[in-house]
A and B are shown apart, each in its own frame.
Chain A
Amino acid sequence: MSCPVVSATVFAPLAGAVLITCIPAARKEAIRWVAAVATAVSLGFAIYMVFAFDLAKGGVQFVEEASWLPTFGIKYFMGADGISVMLLLLTAIVGFTGVFASWGIQNRVKEFYITFLSLTFACAGVFAAWDLFLLFVFFELAVLPKFVLISVWGSTKKEYAAMKLALYLTLGGAITMLGILILYFTAGINSLDLLELGRHNFTHAQQVWLFALFTLGFAIQVPIVPLHSWLPDAHTGAPTAGSMILAGVVMKLGAYGIIRVALSLFPEGAVAWSYLLGILAVICVVYAAFVAMGQKDLKYMIANSSISHMGYSTLGIAALTLAGLAGALFQFFAHGIMAALNFAIAGMTYDRTHTRIMAAMGGLAKVMPVLGVAFVIGALASVGLPGTASFWAEFSVFVGSFQIYPVLAIIAISGIVFTAYYMLRAVQRVYFEPLKVKEFAKLPDASWYDWVVISVIIFFIVAMGVYPSLMMNLVCSGLSPIMNDLKDIAPAASKFTWLATWGGVQ
């Protein structure tokens, strides 16, 4: 271990935040650039990790270990397997573009960037922590900056949204904490090291209930219907960069927790609950799609579509097949950057028109062609078009889940039609058609920092759409221990009895 790469990736934003505290608040430009450099460093390390990760070796790499609270066996244990590497990259991308998306903020710039960078730091920490306690610390650490971001720099109903988010997420945190305590005492090995816990044999009953407890705690953050009520308000109320990181990264923390903690440690529990999880996932997909369809507010629509898209992830997890899980994880990445793009464009549009009601806009593509193109690309990524990362994610989830739950999968796949309907309708209402409001005719198109956001994210969307192997191999490497655990206990793949009997009759 020559260079602590993982820590560097995680702590670079925090270092930036600390540095910013030393800069006078009036020097806004300097503050912004420090933030940009800090996140760029993080991004650089993340990209380095993607290529330096040894696929042949697999497992957890770039390990850093130090004792922290030896009495309780708590360690500072950072590292990255394939999954972590991908999600660290995601966090770094969203953090980096988030800095540029907030370039236009004038109100309390210093405090804004400190908060934003701390949030990025905490999110990245979750993905890199291999000690359950450390993971939990990062997990909870992320709540506070979110609260501040929304309540200070947010819009419409911001206090309400911030409070709701904080309450929901701390409730999830409390449940998780309870789970950790129970886990600590049932395992009784005086360690919260995820790898050691993974080797411990829990009884079937312990697995079933601990899985339920952890999943419940994390499900609030995913979110899984009916625990999702905080999300639309929070995403809509947050400032642009806040929405980006909320949709792009924070939603993934919960789902990541389910895979990293609940599923890895309690595979038998996962098998026991998987059908229920699958049903909830499909409800997420369809219900949220319809709710999104019924929205008049652009950001509410995108927020609900995020719930719908994370439903695909949950379905992939519920399937417990390699393709399903890999698709679910790939969806983290794909949806993360795509949602960041959608929220960025929605924010840029809102900054210019000062409205988010879709019916009040229209014809903006003529005025702001660059934003229009980006919005169309974002919408198409949302629709899961081939050539974008989302396609592979959704397709992999479908392949993985179709073999296990054909009926659920069919319902979920119908979501692609609904998504196309409401996303393209939004494009039509906001950016196409004749210009409705004369005052909008002089709105400026993308500024240079908007260009940075748009081009970086679109680059990754398309790159991962054309060359998905890069991420997919990382994900599969990260999933191999889980698949090993599941090998003997997962239900038999074929549930096509209905078709088989039908075939037999003829």
Chain B
Amino acid sequence: MELWQLAWLVLFLPLASFLIISLVTLPYRRLSGLVTIFGIGASAVLSIYLLIHVLADPHMHAYQDVWHWLTVGKVQIDFGIMVDPLAVIMMTAVTVVSTLIQIYSQAYMEDDPGYSKFFAFMALFTFSMLGIVLANNLLMIYIFWEMVGLCSYLLIGFWYFKPSAAAAAKKAFVVTRFGDFGFLLGVLLLFHYVGAFAYDDVVRVIGAGGIPSAALTVCAVLVFCGAIGKSAQFPLHVWLPDAMEGPTPVSALIHAATMVAAGVYMVARIYGLFSASDQAMMVIAYIGGITAFLAASMAMAQSRMKRIVAYSTCSHLAYMMMALGLGGFTAGVFHLILHCFFKALLFLCSGAVMYLYFHEENIWRMGGLYKYMKVTAITMILAGLSNVGLFPFAGFFSKDEILVVAKEANMGLYILGSLVALFTAFYTFRLIFTVFFGPRSEWSPVGHGHGHGDDHGHHELPDIGNVRPSQVALMEAVDPVARAESDRHLKKEPLTMTIPLSILAVFAVFAGFWGWPGLENGFSTYISWGHGHGGEHGFNMFVAVLSNVIVIIGMLAAWAIYGKRKNAADPLSEAPGYKYIYRVFERKYYFDEIYLWFIRKIIDAGAAVLAWFEENVFTGVFANGIGSLFMEIGRSFRLFQNGWVQRYALILFLGVLVLVAILVLNEPGLAVAIGGVMK
């Protein structure tokens, strides 16, 4: 067996976990959790093993292993994997992050009734993502693309009995399906020109000039639609904040290593297609730039912890898209890998805060939490520093590369990117300062009715309220004096949480050094596109210093506004002049409202009109109308039916006479014949 065939094992171990849990261990909670951890953990170990081999051989050829799946005439569909440095690095990031998230989930989901189900779905999710990573052809990536959509549907809607979660799951699936619609068209169009689905064939045909350039642009943009949907890029980014309705580990998995990363990964994977069309690259770059700005600005005005992080994800992904669109292949992919780690960490820290703090999500009800959860706070600050891209944390290196690329390729986008960096620093530390420092808010976790925390999952019926058993003791703690009492009830940070957090923190801090400019066998040795352009971009002292200055300005601004805040609300929300802009950010530029209006007024109304048409025109006029026409005719003939048999006989006789008369009149010969007989 060849070494690289281990990749099959990496791919199928999580699927095996899923099958084992759903068919066998569903009733045994602990066992199910362990099955997933070991399944994905084994994948992670194998991935690292493969990664070591990749590192030893920087110029390895892409290894492909194809299993024939289906033939319909000339359409041949294969199930194949492609192992090259890009795939192995991504695979390692996915499996490692996923494993850590599974360990973390042991604590986070501990008293959820759907514990086993949760781990089954997580394993399936990881499998689907690995499928995207390893796929060697377009159709396979599309298949796993949809599988990821399915898993996100199942996991976002994990607490399906919450109306918001049920709606968010549907929204995520349908919105991303819009993107998939374009993706599928792109795949079909490419197939029309190429006659095959494999990446190699696509690239070969493009290289041979087999696709007219306009068609190539159309193909590339259509395929990119899929990435827009999955990676939550403008204008299909609306599902992402709602997706926070899922349990936090899900958010971490979806928004760090898997679903949203899939879009960026896909662009990188089929870079040969995109880079062949300048127009398509421009579309990607600008979509990225716009999304980065929109998402970062929205993140500055959110008050729910996970949503801030979610918008941050969206903004970072857009950054990667921008880099890829501008030709910064290495920079984009590097940011993708690093982002896996620090964003997963950021999510898991948020989850830990919520887990420890009565499943509260509103940051204005927090404050001064540092002393209660030191590990979480420290790791979160590290993740934040990486997130904003401050030297020497991991995020800096990839962000810097992206900015260098942008500055060389497109000044407008460079300025936009720097502005986004400023926003990022501001909202990240707005979150950290508000949650961990400053005064404790006057809120206490008592009787806040139908909150929006994660905790519904722990009850049989949601309308009982969202109070957990541990909270019952706090029900009386209404006044600040009793708060000290309630603080004693804050849980201790469990080891199953702190260990994954610490491991991720190590990555979030140090992983960036792999991309140290000029490093021998650095990241760009393995991941680069073509020669020269798109490969490693030089280090630019001006860009690096400026970006750090910007970040520090952002952090200081956050400190000035939030570090010493007094009340439990955002001071900016009432700032004169700014408050209107704040409102726009807070309401997410009214995208949801506009889309909702479109769905309600156009789609649903159209459906209602057609349903009416069906009922009244097709059934009413067509079917019943024709039916009643015949019924009316029948009704008028009914009058002949008077029941007198002799009358019928009379009519019958008259009828015979008439027939005979007609016969005789029409056939003169007949009369002659009869006459002849008579003689």
Whether both chains belong to one complex is answered with yes
Residues from chain A with a CB closer than 8 A to the CB of B478 are none
Tell me whether A287 and B610 are in contact in the complex, defined as CB-CB below 8 angstroms, given that A434-B463, A499-B218, A503-B213 are known contacts.
yes
Asked whether A399 lies within 8 Å of B75 as measured between CB atoms, the reply is yes
Question: Are A424 and B161 CB-contacts (below 8 A) given A469-B70, A499-B214?
Answer: no
Q: Mark B86-129, 1 if CB is under 8 A from A, else 0.
A: 00000000000000000000000000000000000000000000
Question: What's the minimum C-beta distance from A109 to chain B, rounded to whole angstroms?
Answer: 33
Known contacts A290-B610, A294-B610: A502-B215 contact under CB 8 Å: yes
Which residues of B from 213 to 253 have beta carbons under 8 Å from A? 213-215, 218
In the complex, are the beta carbons of B462 and A434 less than 8 A apart?
yes
* A276 interface residue (CB < 8 Å to B): no
Top 9 closest pairs, chain A to chain B, by CB: A503-B212, A294-B611, A322-B73, A293-B607, A432-B166, A294-B607, A386-B143, A432-B160, A229-B623
Closest approach, in angstroms, between the C-beta of A238 and any C-beta of chain B?
Answer: 17
Which A residues from 415 to 438 make CB contacts under 8 A with B? Answer: 416-417, 420-422, 424-425, 427-428, 431-435
Contacting residue for B174 out of A409, A421, A503, CB 8 A: A421
Given B166, B608, B623, which contacts A164 in the complex, CB threshold below 8 Å? B623
Tell me, rounded to whole Å, the shortest Cβ–Cβ distance linking A465 to chain B. 10
Q: Mark A484-504, 1 if CB is under 8 A from B, else 0.
A: 000000000000100110111
Which residues 457-498 of B sit at the A interface, judged by CB distance below 8 A? 460-463
**Which residue from B160, B177, B460 sits with its C-beta under 8 Å from A431?**
B160
A residues in contact (CB < 8 Å) with B: 164, 167, 226, 228-230, 232-233, 287, 290-295, 304, 321-323, 326-327, 363, 365-366, 380, 383, 385-387, 391-392, 395-396, 398-399, 402-403, 409-410, 413-414, 416-417, 420-422, 424-425, 427-428, 431-435, 441, 468-469, 472-473, 476, 483, 496, 499-500, 502-506
Look across to chain B and name the residue whose beta carbon is closest to the beta carbon of A327. B72
Residue from B70, B604, B610 within 8 A of A291 (CB atoms): B610
Which of B146-154, B435-443, B506-514, B641-649 contacts its partner? B146-154
The answer to whether A413 touches B163, judged by C-beta atoms less than 8 angstroms apart, is no
Chain A proximity of B32: nearest CB distance (Å): 16
Residue of B nearest to A468 (CB): B70
Give the residue name and chain of the B residue nearest to A228 (CB): B618
Scoring B residues 248 to 277 as 1 if CB is less than 8 Å from chain A, else 0, what string do you get? 000000000000000000000000000000
- Interface bits B569-607 vs A (CB < 8 Å: 1, else 0): 000000000000000000000000000000000011011
The 10 sampled A-B contact pairs (Cβ below 8 Å) are A290-B606, A291-B607, A295-B611, A323-B74, A326-B72, A366-B460, A421-B603, A433-B160, A434-B462, A435-B161
B219 to chain A, nearest CB (A): 10
Instruction: Give chain A residues whose Cβ lies under 8 Å from the Cβ of B192.
Output: 402-403, 496
Residues of A within 8 A of B461 (CB): 366, 434-435, 441
- List, in ascending order, chain A residues with CB within 8 A of B75's CB: 323, 396, 399
Q: Which of A287, A387, A391, A433 contacts B161 (CB 8 A)?
A: A433
B147 interface neighbour in A229, A386, A395, A398, Cβ under 8 Å: A386
Contact B146 A386 (CB under 8 A): yes
| CB of B167 closer than 8 Å to a CB of A | yes
Residue from B73, B170, B606, B613 in contact with A425 in the complex, judged by beta carbons closer than 8 Å: B170
* Residues of chain B within 8 A of A326, CB atoms compared: 72-73
20 more contacts with CB within 8 A, not counting A294-B610, A417-B181, A500-B215, are: A232-B614, A290-B607, A290-B610, A292-B607, A293-B604, A327-B72, A366-B461, A386-B146, A402-B189, A413-B181, A416-B177, A416-B180, A416-B181, A427-B170, A468-B70, A472-B71, A502-B212, A502-B214, A503-B212, A506-B212
For B180, the closest partner residue in chain A by CB is A416
Q: Nearest Cβ distance between residue B481 and chain A, in whole angstroms?
A: 36
Measured between alpha carbons, how far is A291 from B612 in the docked complex, in Å?
A: 8
With A294-B608, A386-B146, A502-B215 known as contacts, the answer to whether A323 contacts B184 (CB < 8 A) is: no
Complex: A95 Cα to B609 Cα, angstroms: 37
Chain A residues with Cβ below 8 Å from B166 are 428, 432-433
B596 to chain A, nearest CB (A): 13
The answer to whether B161 touches A417, judged by C-beta atoms less than 8 angstroms apart, is: no
| Distance in Å: Cβ of B610 to nearest Cβ of chain A | 4
Q: Kindly count the residue-residue contacts between A and B in the assembled complex, taking CB atoms under 8 Å apart.
A: 173
What's the nearest-Cβ distance from chain A to residue B576, in Å?
42
CB-based nearest A residue for B191: A399
- Kindly state whether residue B55 has any CB partner on chain A within 8 Å: no
> What residues of B have a CB within 8 angstroms of the CB of A386 in the complex?
142-144, 146-147
Binding site for A on B (CB under 8 A): 69-75, 139, 142-144, 146-147, 149-150, 153, 157, 160-163, 166-167, 169-170, 173-174, 177-178, 180-181, 184-185, 188-189, 191-192, 211-215, 218, 460-463, 603-604, 606-614, 618-619, 622-623, 627
* Bound form: Cα–Cα A414–B144 in Å: 20
Select one of B69, B139, B169 contacting A469, CB under 8 A: B69
B191 contact set on A, CB distance < 8 A: 399
Q: How far is the CA of A505 from the CA of B213 in the complex (A)?
A: 10
User: Contact at B167–A428, with CB atoms within 8 Å?
Assistant: yes
Q: How far is the CB of A487 from chain B (nearest CB, A)?
A: 12
Given the contacts A293-B603, A428-B170, A505 and B610 also touching, CB distance less than 8 Å: no
Contacts of B142 in A (CB 8 A): 386
Query: A506–B214 contact, CB under 8 A?
Result: yes
Bound complex: CA A290 to CA B608 (Å): 8
**Residue of A with least CB distance to B167:** A428
Residues of B within 8 A of A499 (CB): 189, 212, 214-215, 218
User: Bound state CA distance, A500 and B192, in angstroms?
Assistant: 12
In the bound complex, CA of A56 to CA of B565 (Å) = 79
- Would you call A420 and B70 a contact (CB within 8 A)? no
| CB-defined contacts of A391 to chain B, threshold 8 Å | 143, 146
Smallest distance from the beta carbon of B556 to chain A beta carbons, Å?
46
List the B side residues contacting A502 at CB < 8 Å.
212, 214-215
B580 to A: closest C-beta gap in Å: 34
- Please name all residues of chain A whose beta carbon is closer than 8 Å to the beta carbon of B613 when the two chains form the complex: 291
Quick check: A294 and B612 within 8 Å, CB to CB?
yes
Bound-state Cα–Cα, A366 to B463, Å: 13
Kindly state the separation between the CA atoms of A402 and B623 in the bound complex, as whole angstroms. 34
Chain B min CB distance to A338 (Å): 15
Measured CA separation A468–B77 after assembly (Å):
11
User: Beyond A424-B153, A500-B212, is A229–B163 a contact (Cβ under 8 Å)?
Assistant: no
Q: How far is the CB of A234 from chain B (nearest CB, A)?
A: 11
Instruction: For A500, list chain B residues within 8 Å (CB).
Output: 212, 215
Cα separation A143 to B607 with both chains bound (whole Å):
32
Q: What residues of chain A lie closer than 8 Å to B70, measured between beta carbons?
A: 392, 468-469, 472
**Residue in A228, A398, A503 with the greatest tally of chain B CB atoms within 10 Å:** A503
**Which A residues are in CB contact (< 8 Å) with B143?**
386-387, 391
Q: A294-B608, A428-B166 are in contact. Are A413 and B71 (CB under 8 A)?
A: no
Q: Give every chain A residue within 8 A of B462 (Cβ-Cβ).
A: 434
CA distance A227 to B424 in the complex (A): 59
